[in-house]
Amino acid sequence: MSTIDLTPVARPANAEPWKRKDRSMVVAAGLAATVPALITALVTAALGWDPSVTVMAIFLPLQLVAAGIVGVRAYGKRGIAEASLIVVTLLLTALVAALLLSVLWSVISAGAQTLSWTFLSQNNVYISPTTSLEYGGVGHSIIGTVLIVGLTTIVTVPFGIAIAVYLTETRGKARGAIRILIQAMSGLPSVVAGLFVYSALIASGITQYAGWAGSLALLPLMLPTVARIAEEALRLVPAEYRNGALALGAPAYRAFLQVTLPAAKTGIITAVLLGIARIIGETAPLLLTTFAANNTSFNLFSGSMSSLPTYLYQYISNGNDTSTQRAWGAALVVLILVGILFTVARVFGRAKKATSKSLTKANNARKAN
């Protein structure tokens, strides 16, 4: 019997046979991807038509036909269906991406000129709609937004998680009713929440405009988001883990706190984040409950308070050029706040991996014996 040579051999260049391509197909695909766009561009330039018209009337049919031809060459009849699916999917994706990017771009391009340290740190006292951008800013609104949204978050998150726990971990009889209620709540128009708090607390004379009234008005808007996403997160934890804990003699509350909750941690952080994102830009409820203010206020419990959305509203409704610029600036600051929040949560929410540190610790513990 001959010996088998087991020395490893260097990977050959053609180790991916599934990626082999017929040269003529590559050329055809390249033509199909470029020719329709070129023709559309030429027609648009030559006739001076609106690009949105030529894209719909010339580019789309041409691209479908071109992709269809290549598809039929490659796969026969089914190539037509595959090619159309690819073209339509890509087009719709591009449409959504274009919408999203244009919103982002318009806020960033218009807001960037306004952004400065002064704008971020100063408040609105002694500032009129025509005051130049060298003076005044959204410092007081950032503080207001952080305080009002912070208070709402602190109050809402425990409630939201408690509802999610009731819906997933118990066999309570009211689960169906609560689930319907939460769904109905998520359709509540924000202005109605604001009006309710306004009429119940402010019009009735219980309190003046105050930050906490704003937090209260935001609560029913944030609660359904947190509860529903946290419910999903808890539902995704396999029952085997909870059963494993219960079989070890764990009371239900410990099984939840030490096994189910840690396993759902990332999902619950997402729930809180999306809840915050849901309310951070709300304007109507805050106009009705905290109103707007020019001075910096740290007091959530009395006096009107500024927030980024109400500041934006204050200036965008003015119509003056510098006012509009300030409004764009405020919009950009809201976006940046949300961006910071998401980044921080992603970093903290990442699943914990065993670090070399914890390894060494365990090893040392072993050696000590």
Contacts of 47 (CB under 8 A, 6+ apart): none
Q: Is 170 in the site for another protein (CB under 8 A)?
A: no
Of 79, 129, 262, 303, which one interacts with another protein (CB under 8 A)? 262
Of 210, 233, 255, 271, which one interacts with another protein (CB under 8 A)? 255
Of the listed pieces 136-144, 189-197, 243-251, 279-287, which binds another protein according to CB under 8 A? 243-251
Of the listed pieces 24-32, 189-197, 224-232, 252-260, which binds another protein according to CB under 8 A? 252-260
Q: Is 368 in the site for another protein (CB under 8 A)?
A: yes
**Contact predicate 68/80, CB 8 Å:** yes
Contacts of 254 (CB under 8 A, 6+ apart): 245
Of 11, 23, 171, 173, which one interacts with another protein (CB under 8 A)? 171
Q: Is 174 in the site for another protein (CB under 8 A)?
A: no
For another protein, which is the closer residue by CB, 51 or 238? 238
Of 78, 254, 346, 350, which one interacts with another protein (CB under 8 A)? 254
Binding string, residues 340-359; x marks residues near another protein by CB under 8 A: ------------xxx---xx
Q: Is 173 in the site for another protein (CB under 8 A)?
A: no
Binding string, residues 117-156; x marks residues near another protein by CB under 8 A: ----------------------------------------
Say if residue 255 is exposed, middle or buried (CB neighbours under 10 Å; 0-12, 13-18, 19+). Answer: buried
In the complex, the smallest distance separating the C-beta of residue 258 from another protein, rounded to whole angstroms, is: 6
For another protein, which is the closer residue by CB, 99 or 248? 248
In the complex, the smallest distance separating the C-beta of residue 147 from another protein, rounded to whole angstroms, is: 33
In the complex, the smallest distance separating the C-beta of residue 211 from another protein, rounded to whole angstroms, is: 37
Say how many residues touch another protein, by CB under 8 A: 33
Q: Is 3 in the site for another protein (CB under 8 A)?
A: no
For another protein, which is the closer residue by CB, 204 or 356? 356
In the complex, the smallest distance separating the C-beta of residue 158 from another protein, rounded to whole angstroms, is: 21
Interface with another protein (CB under 8 A): 171, 238, 240-241, 243-251, 254-255, 258-259, 262-263, 265, 352-354, 358-363, 365-366, 368-369
